[in-house]
């Protein structure tokens, strides 16, 4: 036992005679850039105006922002070295990625723009032609309606003329009374003396 009590004293004596060295664990090396290993989450703010709480109709909320996690943190599974990868936070969306810029692509895009402009101008011209056609069609309907009315009036007038012709024919074919015939009753003239 005497020996066991001497061991701590030896260590204490030896530590006092040497400079003290503190050993601490080294911090882990940081991953640069972090996006090469893991994408961070994307949080977006939405601004909402006044509204009545649907669960509590007696409660109204004033205008305030609402924060929503659009994309949670996730591992970057794209292969490649961190030095060559130019990854953004959040990862680029293919819908918003810039198109490749080679001469052939630029020429094709310009050709497509010209074709689109031609199609749009033809569509505008076709629309104007359609409106003119509709206008002419409505005018033709009006003319056809007026022609039908005029035709009905002409037919009515012809019928009336035919009726007048028949009446004239009746009047011309009716025998006129003979002058030698004495009528059975001849009224007295108004200024004749009375018997």
Q: What is the pLDDT along the chain (195 residues), one digit of tens a residue?
A: 555 555 555 555 555 556 565 656 666 656 567 777 888 888 888 888 898 999 999 999 898 888 989 888 888 887 665 444 454 456 566 666 666 678 888 888 899 999 999 999 999 999 999 999 999 999 999 999 999 999 999 999 999 999 999 988 888 876 655 566 555 566 666 676 665
**Which candidate, 62, 60, 34, 68, places its Cα nearest to that of 48?**
62
Radius of gyration of the chain (CA): 56
**CA atoms in the 13 A half-sphere facing the CB of 85:** 19
Query: Which tokens go with 75?
Result: 């591992």
Residues linked to residue 48 through DSSP beta bridges, in sequence order: 64
- pTM of the entire predicted model: 0.31
**Which candidate, 43, 30, 157, places its Cα nearest to that of 89?**
43
pLDDT at residue number 82:
47
Peptide bond into 90 cis (omega under 30): yes
pLDDT at residue number 159:
94
pLDDT at residue number 123:
95
Residue 91 neighbours by CB distance under 10 Å: 14
pLDDT at residue number 83:
47
pLDDT at residue number 188:
67
pLDDT at residue number 149:
95
pLDDT at residue number 162:
93
pLDDT at residue number 78:
79
141, 143, 148, 152: CA torsion to nearest 10: 150
Contact 41, 69 (CB under 8 A): yes
């Amino acid at each position: 036992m005497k020996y066991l009590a001497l061991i701590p004293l030896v260590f204490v004596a030896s530590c006092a005679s040497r400079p003290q060295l503190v050993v601490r664990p080294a911090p882990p090396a940081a991953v640069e850039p972090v996006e090469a290993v893991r994408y961070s989450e994307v949080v977006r703010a939405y601004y909402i105006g006044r509204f009545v709480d649907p669960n509590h109709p007696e409660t109204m909320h004033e205008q305030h922002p609402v924060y929503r996690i659009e994309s949670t943190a996730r591992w970057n599974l794209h292969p490649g070295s961190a030095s060559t990868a130019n990854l953004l936070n959040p990862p680029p969306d293919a819908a918003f990625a810039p198109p490749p810029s080679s001469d052939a692509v630029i020429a094709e895009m310009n050709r497509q723009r010209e074709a689109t402009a031609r199609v749009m101008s033809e569509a505008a011209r076709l629309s104007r032609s359609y409106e003119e056609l509709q206008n002419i069609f409505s005018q033709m309907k009006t003319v056809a309606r007026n022609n039908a009315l005029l035709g009905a009036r002409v037919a009515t007038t012809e019928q009336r003329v035919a009726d007048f012709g028949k009446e004239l024919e009746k009047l011309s074919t009716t025998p006129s009374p003979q002058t030698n015939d004495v009528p059975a009753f001849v009224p007295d003239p108004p200024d004749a003396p009375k018997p």
